[in-house]
Amino acid sequence: MIESAKPLHVIVGATSPIARAYAVDCAVAGKALLLAGRNLEELELIAADLRIRYGVKVAVERYDASLPGEGCRLVGSFASQPVAAIVAFHGIMGGRDEFVAMLQVNCAAIAELFEAVADQSAHAGSKPVLAAVSSVAGDRGRQSNYPYGASKAALDAYLSGLRNRLHPLGLRVITIKPGFVRTRLTEGKVNPRSPLLAEPAQVADDIRRAIEGSADVVYTRWFWSPIMAIIRSIPEFIFKRLRL
């Protein structure tokens, strides 16, 4: 673990291309980083690159979201450090057979992590920003990916409740809702030339601005906010007939 005078920015699921772009943004700003994820070898490479290019302090920590208990262990690993922000990027997308795994990785693991951060912050008197990457898929269940959408909807409801609980204590909770982003998750599933497809750096920039600003829920890119408002407004008796 690094001992840094600067408050830590904790990036969980740090091998995601969106997380990598966000880590670069943080490093450019000279922030001290903790990268967490299940692939330590890959994390070490990312960390070494950031240290060399930007001269910042970067630590890595193993974290497997499929295993209950990992969130508490991870938070314990930086208990002695002040934390400025923690952003959870990790997520998996599967079908009906992976529903329980998605509920664990996409929702329950983040809940365990954020509850531990909230408890630790109350103890230390600190006020870190807590942000998690959800998805527009959580706004409404569609036949093409409703198990994934349901796991993200559960995350949205969890974050809303946590925000409500922590607001009086001065802690911010941010829900990030990307549409399509050019990563492994969309490879072969979304037309690579689609104008709706965002680059990881664009989404990372929106996340950085959300953390520096005051938003509670952020759609990225911005045009997903009106698109999803329309999708949510379609009456169920019509929606059930659509091929989405």
Ligand X SMILES: NC(=O)c1ccc[n+]([C@@H]2O[C@H](COP(=O)([O-])OP(=O)(O)OC[C@H]3O[C@@H](n4cnc5c(N)ncnc54)[C@H](OP(=O)(O)O)[C@@H]3O)[C@@H](O)[C@H]2O)c1
What percent helix, strand, coil does the chain show, rounded to 5? Answer: 50, 15, 35
How crowded is residue 109: how many other Cβ atoms within 10 Å of its Cβ? 27
35-54: contacts with ligand X (CB under 6 A): 37-39
What are the backbone angles phi and psi of residue 223, rounded to the nearest 5°? Answer: -70, -15
- CB closer to ligand X, 4 vs 13: 13
91-120: contacts with ligand X (CB under 6 A): 91-92, 105
- Verify binding: residue 225, ligand X, rule CB under 6 A: no
- Verify binding: residue 71, ligand X, rule CB under 6 A: no
- DSSP label at 91? -
Q: Which stretch binds ligand X (CB under 6 A): 12-20, 26-34, 46-54, 78-86?
A: 12-20
The C-alpha angle 73, 78, 82, rounded to 5 degrees, equals 145
Residue of minimal CB distance from ligand X? 91
Q: Which stretch binds ligand X (CB under 6 A): 74-82, 112-120, 182-190, 230-238?
A: 182-190
Q: How many residues bind ligand X (CB under 6 A)?
A: 26
**Secondary structure of 112-164 in HEC code, one letter for each residue:** HHHHHHHHHHHHHCCCCEEEEECCHHHCCCCCCCHHHHHHHHHHHHHHHHHHH
Note the residues at the interface with ligand X (CB under 6 A): 13, 15-18, 37-39, 63-66, 89-92, 105, 133, 135, 178, 180-181, 183-186
